[in-house]
Amino acid sequence: MNPQRRALLRAGSLAAALPLAAGAGSAAAASAALAPPLPPLPAVPAGTTPEVLASNQAYWQAVAAQYDTTDAIVQLDNAYWGAMARPVLRHYEQQLAMVNRDNAWYARMRFPADFEAARAAAARALGVASDEIVLTRGATEALQVLIAGYNRLRPGDTVLYADIDYDNMITVTRWLQQRRGVQVVSIAMPEPFAHDNVVAAYVAAMESQPTLKLMLLTHVNHRNGMVLPVAEISRLARARGIDVIVDTAHGFGQLDMTIPDLQADFAGINLHKWIGAPVGVGAAYVKRGRLADIDPYLGEKAGDDIRTRVHTGTVNFAAYLSLPTALDLHAQIGVANKQARLRLLRNRWVEAARGIDGIEVLASGDPRLTSAIASFRLRGKTSVADSYALSKKLVQQHGIFAVPRDGLASGACVRVTPGIFTPESHMDRLVDALRKVARG
Ligand SMILES: Cc1ncc(COP(=O)(O)O)c(C=O)c1O
């Protein structure tokens, strides 16, 4: 049995066996205070669509007022991780202080139940059952466990990834060659990308690789932000007996979807990006009935509890304790409203930048493929050095931070990601800067 699980069970039985002393109220109170009430947001008239709300300045200023943001720079790299809103930060600080004070007395006696409550809250938001997810420290831990643990591969089978996938997930997928004796192949996404040519690229790969058994699919990639038609590709794969592992590090929380919408049996999820939980919170999803296809964690005993697939050791207790608060705020704003607001901010710069001579925008005009993230480069400047120079120029000459990204088959680029607290004026500053940068 996973030592973490064993420890939790032991702690659970400890909690059952030991009576709480009268003076033990602090830990008990902390458990009860899992999700404090949130400050109200302006009322939205009934029937207001997310698209209409997206340009309601007063509403989004009220949302932005829940966040501490910096004046030092125009911060357009909100894809790294998601800033916590102030109520989440405050709750996190309180939980951190409580855990630090009550120490093992809290961790052994109360944390197991609170950790379960956090898992249940995450499962509800993800649209799955609690026993289909295990909380992790992020999408990396979740996906490493799923890719490395997927045990239906046999020597001679083929595994596929694409140029848009995340660097470390590509590394783990390539490692399957040594670990499982499989052939690992990659494809490049077409550019410019559109719904049909992207699906066609995966279909062509499935048809040209008769031994293909597993594909890594990145729902929203971190290079150009394209939303992959995951459900469609998953269905086509399933019909051919091919499994998919979905990296939805950037999908869940910013797109109006839940995990079953992906039509996939395995997914790695981040909760510290677009949900805004403290850094160190993610989840792995395995559909009921598929757990046996993922190895227990590094020599742990096989079991039918998904928690035997991850062994994190001692965790950042307070981060998980604040997860329900972050999920409550996410629900209060509404994911469809978040998605529409992020799309408005993204379209504001993408559409203006398309008209600038010398700027190549890496973004689809198809709303189905649109996320908060999009990228650009100076036309013809595709090297990694070019993208670093461009990012540096934006910082030094225009006070704008957007991160260089490489790995696309078409070359390196600079990535732009607003957050839900980003004002329109920041996107306009970027467009002004791009006009100047394009002139040289
Ligand atoms: C597409 C994608 N997958 C996985 C990850 C890994 O997420 P984390 O570092 O939070 O575990 C990231 C991180 O940015 C990502 O962009």
Q: One-letter amino acid identity for 180?
A: R
Asked if the model's pLDDT at residue 151 lies above 60, the reply is yes
Can you give the pLDDT at residue 1?
41
Q: Using most ligand atoms within 8 A of CB, pick from 216, 247, 417 the residue to mutate for ligand 1.
A: 247
Arithmetic mean of pLDDT, 222-232: 98
Arithmetic mean of pLDDT, 63-80: 97
pTM score, whole prediction = 0.94
User: How far does residue 125's CA lie from ligand 1's centre (Å)?
Assistant: 20
The closest-lying atom of ligand 1 relative to the alpha carbon of residue 221 is 1
Can you give the pLDDT at residue 18?
64
Q: Is 362 exposed, middle or buried (0-12, 13-18, 19+ CB in 10 A)?
A: buried
Q: Residue 397: enclosing H or E segment and its boundaries?
A: helix 384-398
The edge-to-edge listing of strands for the beta sheet with 374-378 is: 359-362, 374-378, 413-416, 403-405
Whether 245 is in the pocket of ligand 1, judged by its Cβ within 6 Å, is no
Whether 247 is in the pocket of ligand 1, judged by its Cβ within 6 Å, is yes
pLDDT tens-digit readout, 153-205: 999 999 999 999 999 999 999 999 999 999 999 999 998 899 999 999 999 99
Q: Is 45 exposed, middle or buried (0-12, 13-18, 19+ CB in 10 A)?
A: exposed
> What torsion do the CA atoms of 9, 15, 18, 20 make, to the nearest 10 degrees?
170
Task: Pick the closest to residue 374 from 356, 348, 411 (CA basis).
Answer: 348
Q: Where are the beta strands (DSSP E) in 137-196?
A: 158-162, 183-187
Arithmetic mean of pLDDT, 278-290: 98
User: How far does residue 138's CA lie from ligand 1's centre (Å)?
Assistant: 8
Arithmetic mean of pLDDT, 49-55: 97
Residue 39: which pLDDT band, with cuts at 50, 70 and 90?
confident
178 C-beta neighbours (distance < 10 Å), count = 9
Please report where in the chains the tokens 């794969």 appear, as a residue. Answer: 237
Cα gap 383→182, rounded to integer Å: 32
Residue 421 CB partners (closer than 8 Å, separation 6+): 60, 63, 64, 66, 67, 69, 83
Please report where in the chains the tokens 């602090």 appear, as a residue. Answer: 26
Whether 270 is in the pocket of ligand 1, judged by its Cβ within 6 Å, is yes
Arithmetic mean of pLDDT, 286-293: 98
Whether 218 is in the pocket of ligand 1, judged by its Cβ within 6 Å, is yes
Cα gap 37→296, rounded to integer Å: 38
Cα gap 438→138, rounded to integer Å: 37
- State what percent of residues in the chain have pLDDT above 90: 88
Pairing assessment for the beta strands 74-75 and 400-401 based on DSSP bridges: parallel
Please report where in the chains the tokens 């705020």 appear, as a residue. Answer: 329
Contact present, 112 and 335 (Cβ < 8 Å): no
pLDDT tens-digit readout, 388-405: 999 999 999 999 999 999
Sign of CA dihedral 340, 343, 348, 352: negative
Q: What are phi and psi of 370, to 5 degrees?
A: -100, 125
